[in-house]
Structure 1
């Protein structure tokens, strides 16, 4: 039952205490009676052992001094690098006998970790069948799973007006069931779409942009392009007009594939993209496109028209090679001009192999797809599902839940109808679910809140011991779980770090396994993934099967491999999944990528610590670039440069926590302007120091920064949501700025950590 149904009448504090004590007593008796059965059935000692197992070990080390010996202990045996700067150690032993590998030498400047896991069945099958491009992947699965459900879209019967209690009228959908296409049907549609593009004059290796929200036509279009060896240029649907135009113009595309809902936006962008001569749009189920107002000499085709052209075409497929470009994926661009990351077919296949080994997905699973396919994380997870024959039902934030804004009252959201078993997410969405649960509980009766808290604490205590709690799940958390359809067993989180509290609450309340990973567009979304047996929270996971993770000393930030209790350093990722570089940015590519030890490597700029079992925890970022919880990048230096031009600011340090969705700022205010601002809000006869301590002045300064930030055309997420007024002026003598008065971020953060915590808590 839900928290709202737990209400049994008004009770005073004593009554609630007695009731909860009685519940505890009943639970205690049940625990005694059922413990032997649960012990034998669930075997928690095995669960705990699997969680603690070694997941990666050190396989290489490098020193500054080539004369220095590096001694590393692996599985009880000592390996010494004698008078060489770099030592490649023996392959890791089997997982069952692996143990922690510790660099003994203080002179070590980098260490390389590698997974001890073995290639799984799907990985081996891909190798055996010589599946080395995305075109071959879909050719293979379309035969293997020909008659199985592949892609599904929910039918929209009508759009109706719904009167709200406040008198307003909202547009709501009258939705039907999911309509499915089989793997064989999708293959035919994709093949015909690719041939139709060729009929329109698009040639192999000449890029085409997909600028659309996630839907089945997106995947069909991409598969059709792969069949013809036409690179897919992906651009976020949420980018600004200039960023979208930049990606289109830089890749010199002449054809853009978009959707009906984005056509009005693209109508304005067309004037900034002189090369575009063809626009193909994915149709709406109800509405027709108004062709008026579009730029002359631009041909507009329906998605279905292109498929029809291809169905009668005599053009043969033009399959790509493994080293051909599959995707040019543009970043979000919130830090300036978006960069296009080049991804080859071999990069994508490498990640698919590693994801197969890291994430347990079964033929009986169903994925709900709603994150942007223009994001490498979602694209690779959906590609993994297709590879193992898992159907994908598409959704959106407008229709996903029963309470979503486009769902008509009394009807079901997509999750309730689809009943998925797997879903991808970003931390921001999981945080919203978590806060929604907390809000619902807080509005329930006192006894309901007390019972929920008891059940939560009870379950958390037992799952930490390695047990499951099926009775509590059914009685207390069933209604919570039904928010996302009632059958979800696996949530894969990526795009930003997931806070430990949210991770734990989602596991408990939704009764699901939550796996998070770490990767970048430059590494084709792959680097480390949590082990499916890992019971911990707050860690990104261990290196995947074909990935090497190197930790490199960052002396400037005081992070070193020799740090105790855990080695710390910058994360550098190596493997076949590492991109060849940035599109038309050779200097930037040279700065961030390099070749060594027969591998391609990418310098992430992220700082991590590596735990004894080979799992990684991200703890800092080398550059002043922060990715917020929703995946938006914030360039702290850029924001500070703009906000320093505000009269109220003498100096400012912006701080962003990757587990939050907003920034905060430490502000050294201009004394005279602060006093003037205080007078405007009615505060007089206060000293500068007193003004800096007043919450009213913090709010007033924050309002000034918000107005100034908008004038400077900063994005909403770039403008700090809270400020702390600092009384002292930062100087080199204080150690908070350099001699050139550049901010020393780490020192500032350490000095004002309490204030930063207070701002986020508020």
Structure 2
């Protein structure tokens, strides 16, 4: 497994383009420290500044740090040592940052798990990671699922987190009185309540020697779309670099009369925590960027709540006035098409990060027209903590449909699909490979996977992303598609995103996905699955005609299916694999 010091210094730090955003450094420094220093530094600089906001209740940076210190003390007393795994099975609750930083302070490794996973799915991650402790929500479903999942694993301790103490006092009192605060029907003997644990622990974290370049901080399991889920081992500098690089790259106009400048620190900004923090996008671009910049962080456990769905998050935007919102395209779609959007004031939003899936250009335009915010699309993977590249935040040089330029100190190459040691010239599609301080150490206990997904070029270690793309004449990176999603039609390669981008220009389309399905000729047929906007109706013939008018013959969907909903992952990616599995001739 390659030394992270070598990896951190492999990127050239330059990118040949005349459109590099003005004032943004090509190289960044000062990120070689443990992740918890992001919290500690902000607590020292802005002790009384609000950090987390949940249902109106607020915690300052000094309060969050103190709780994290108490958790670290508790972990040490329970025998958790450096390198041990501690699982977090929580939605975006205010407990999450406290637990996350507490684990870091104890020298342990956080294993972030999706709280809505079934016991079988959770058991795999708990067993594979060898987690010794789990923090989960005190909830009638989440808690018993964790209890079942922990059977026959290395888990020795389960800590249940109830939200009552994190609500405003009156709300917590009334909720408890009326039985509206979620909690498990019963707790197993020996299990620990979070509030009791914090109260009984001292804010005295153990003295642990952390090597931020080589010590694993977080283990995140990949989605498993190409096989059994793998644990990506991410070291401390993977995340601290992300915060420094993102905040360097980010340029905003803090006032209509001001030019673009670096984002302000110390409480000016507010991040909307709409993305799950068990995913690298939500961790880095929301939770950790907020912590590192001394900004507020609004905890949104489930953005889909409300009638109609997503109404509650619109209310939160109006109430808490967030300035920055990392999200995935399906969330932007939901906002842009929300029937009550005009009833809410979203003018506080300055910048919106988009990632996790390709952003259809028409959706970007719709959202910006309705909110006034600027969307800058980025690109990355779980294995890269996650951001590799991003569009400039300057509207004049941003190129919609691209993912911009590599972050400082990041190098991206386009490699031949058949020979991953051969770099392709600009304009040619190939596999995207990345090298930089954000690239993971490797896969947990999977040297076979490391050998498959890493390649050495000129002495530098590049991660093979599995994505197909190219670099255009201006230096912008364009992601064409996933290798596995490419559709072969009569010898021609059809990239689903190309077809989807055209379908999104149809005024009736809210969400769509394109897949390849087998046919009798032993190649594939293009199929489009479409969710129409509310109140719209359409026929297959109508869309066949639209496709004939707007795309080449081999790209046109020969099968069109309308659905009320499309399957999406927990971070909002449309799951093409599920659509392929569900297809019937």
Q: TM-score range by the shorter chain?
A: 0.7 to 0.9
| SS of equivalent to 2:191 | strand
When residues 347 and 355 of structure 1 are mapped into structure 2, their CA distance, relative to the original with a 3 A threshold, is: same
Q: Which of 246, 256, 262 is matched with 1:355 structurally?
A: 246
Q: What is the match of residue 144 of structure 2?
A: 264
| SS of equivalent to 1:413 | helix
Q: How far apart, in 1, do the equivalents of 2:227 and 2:477 lie?
A: 30
After TM superposition, the score normalised by the length of structure 1 is 0.57
| SS of equivalent to 1:755 | coil
When residues 335 and 589 of structure 1 are mapped into structure 2, their CA distance, relative to the original with a 3 A threshold, is: same
Q: Shift in Å at residue 369 of structure 1? A: 0.6
Q: How far apart, in 2, do the equivalents of 1:116 and 1:406 lie?
A: 38
Offset from partner CA, 1:133-167 (integer Å, 9 cap, x none): 2122222121111121111111xxxxxxxxxxxxx
Q: Shift in Å at residue 330 of structure 1? A: 0.9
After TM superposition, the score normalised by the length of structure 2 is 0.73
When residues 596 and 343 of structure 1 are mapped into structure 2, their CA distance, relative to the original with a 3 A threshold, is: same
Q: How far apart, in 1, do the equivalents of 2:12 and 2:26 lie?
A: 22
Assess if the C-alpha contact under 8 Å between 2:11 and 2:411 holds in 1. no
Assess if the C-alpha contact under 8 Å between 1:550 and 1:572 holds in 2. yes
Give the greater-gyration-radius structure (CA).
1
Q: What is the match of residue 211 of structure 2?
A: 321
Which consecutive unaligned segments of at least 5 residues does structure 2 have? 1-9, 165-175, 252-262, 502-510, 522-526, 530-538, 542-550, 565-585
Q: Which of 57, 76, 101 is matched with 1:179 structurally?
A: 57
Assess if the C-alpha contact under 8 Å between 1:560 and 1:568 holds in 2. no
Q: Shift in Å at residue 662 of structure 1? A: 4.2
| SS of equivalent to 1:308 | helix
Assess if the C-alpha contact under 8 Å between 1:120 and 1:357 holds in 2. no
Matching of residue 237 in structure 1 with residue 115 in structure 2: yes
Matching of residue 119 in structure 1 with residue 33 in structure 2: no
Q: What is the match of residue 91 of structure 2?
A: 213
| SS of equivalent to 1:504 | helix
When residues 335 and 309 of structure 1 are mapped into structure 2, their CA distance, relative to the original with a 3 A threshold, is: farther
Q: What is the match of residue 140 of structure 1?
A: 41
Q: 1:602-621 maps to which residues of 2 (within 5 A)?
A: 602-621=463-482
Q: What is the match of residue 191 of structure 1?
A: 69
Q: Which of 352, 367, 370 is matched with 1:491 structurally?
A: 352
Q: What is the match of residue 232 of structure 2?
A: 341
Q: What is the match of residue 712 of structure 1?
A: none
Matching of residue 150 in structure 1 with residue 51 in structure 2: yes
Assess if the C-alpha contact under 8 Å between 1:239 and 1:333 holds in 2. no
Q: What is the match of residue 319 of structure 2?
A: 417
Moved over 6 A (4+): 88-91, 114-117, 399-402
When residues 398 and 357 of structure 1 are mapped into structure 2, their CA distance, relative to the original with a 3 A threshold, is: closer
| SS of equivalent to 1:134 | coil
Q: What is the match of residue 561 of structure 1?
A: 424
Matching of residue 279 in structure 1 with residue 158 in structure 2: yes
Q: How far apart, in 2, do the equivalents of 1:179 and 1:90 lie?
A: 45
Q: How far apart, in 1, do the equivalents of 2:182 and 2:332 lie?
A: 36
Q: Which of 171, 176, 200 is matched with 1:309 structurally?
A: 200
Q: How far apart, in 2, do the equivalents of 1:423 and 1:255 lie?
A: 32
Assess if the C-alpha contact under 8 Å between 1:503 and 1:538 holds in 2. no
When residues 90 and 203 of structure 1 are mapped into structure 2, their CA distance, relative to the original with a 3 A threshold, is: closer
Assess if the C-alpha contact under 8 Å between 1:254 and 1:276 holds in 2. yes
When residues 92 and 399 of structure 1 are mapped into structure 2, their CA distance, relative to the original with a 3 A threshold, is: closer
How well do the aligned residues superpose, as a CA RMSD in angstroms?
3.9
Q: What is the match of residue 505 of structure 2?
A: none
Matching of residue 225 in structure 1 with residue 103 in structure 2: yes
Q: How far apart, in 2, do the equivalents of 1:414 and 1:560 lie?
A: 47
Higher helix fraction: Structure 1 or Structure 2? 1
Q: How far apart, in 1, do the equivalents of 2:292 and 2:112 lie?
A: 21
Q: Shift in Å at residue 340 of structure 1? A: 0.5
| SS of equivalent to 1:415 | helix
Q: How far apart, in 2, do the equivalents of 1:583 and 1:283 lie?
A: 31
Q: Which of 270, 288, 292 is matched with 1:387 structurally?
A: 292
Assess if the C-alpha contact under 8 Å between 1:578 and 1:600 holds in 2. no
Q: What is the match of residue 570 of structure 2?
A: none
Assess if the C-alpha contact under 8 Å between 2:310 and 2:334 holds in 1. no
Assess if the C-alpha contact under 8 Å between 2:280 and 2:385 holds in 1. yes
Q: What is the match of residue 519 of structure 2?
A: 668
Offset from partner CA, 1:586-614 (integer Å, 9 cap, x none): 11111111344454310112111212221
Q: Which of 754, 757, 761 is matched with 2:556 structurally?
A: 754
Assess if the C-alpha contact under 8 Å between 2:466 and 2:482 holds in 1. yes
When residues 290 and 384 of structure 1 are mapped into structure 2, their CA distance, relative to the original with a 3 A threshold, is: closer
| SS of equivalent to 2:556 | helix
Q: What is the match of residue 513 of structure 1?
A: 374
Q: Shift in Å at residue 276 of structure 1? A: 1.9
Q: Shift in Å at residue 388 of structure 1? A: 1.2
Assess if the C-alpha contact under 8 Å between 1:368 and 1:422 holds in 2. yes
Q: Shift in Å at residue 365 of structure 1? A: 1.3
Q: Which of 434, 445, 449 is matched with 2:336 structurally?
A: 434
Assess if the C-alpha contact under 8 Å between 2:11 and 2:410 holds in 1. no
Q: How far apart, in 1, do the equivalents of 2:136 and 2:494 lie?
A: 37
Length, aligned pairs only? 483
Q: How far apart, in 2, do the equivalents of 1:352 and 1:606 lie?
A: 24
Q: Shift in Å at residue 522 of structure 1? A: 1.3
Q: How far apart, in 2, do the equivalents of 1:350 and 1:222 lie?
A: 17
Q: 1:437-448 maps to which residues of 2 (within 5 A)?
A: none
Matching of residue 545 in structure 1 with residue 408 in structure 2: yes
Q: Shift in Å at residue 332 of structure 1? A: 2.6
Q: How far apart, in 2, do the equivalents of 1:394 and 1:484 lie?
A: 19
Offset from partner CA, 1:683-736 (integer Å, 9 cap, x none): xxxxxxxxxxxxxxx99xx9xxxxxxxxxxxxxxxxxxx999xxxxxxxxxxxx
Residue range with higher mean Cα deviation, 259-268 or 276-285:
259-268
When residues 259 and 757 of structure 1 are mapped into structure 2, their CA distance, relative to the original with a 3 A threshold, is: same
Q: Shift in Å at residue 324 of structure 1? A: 0.9
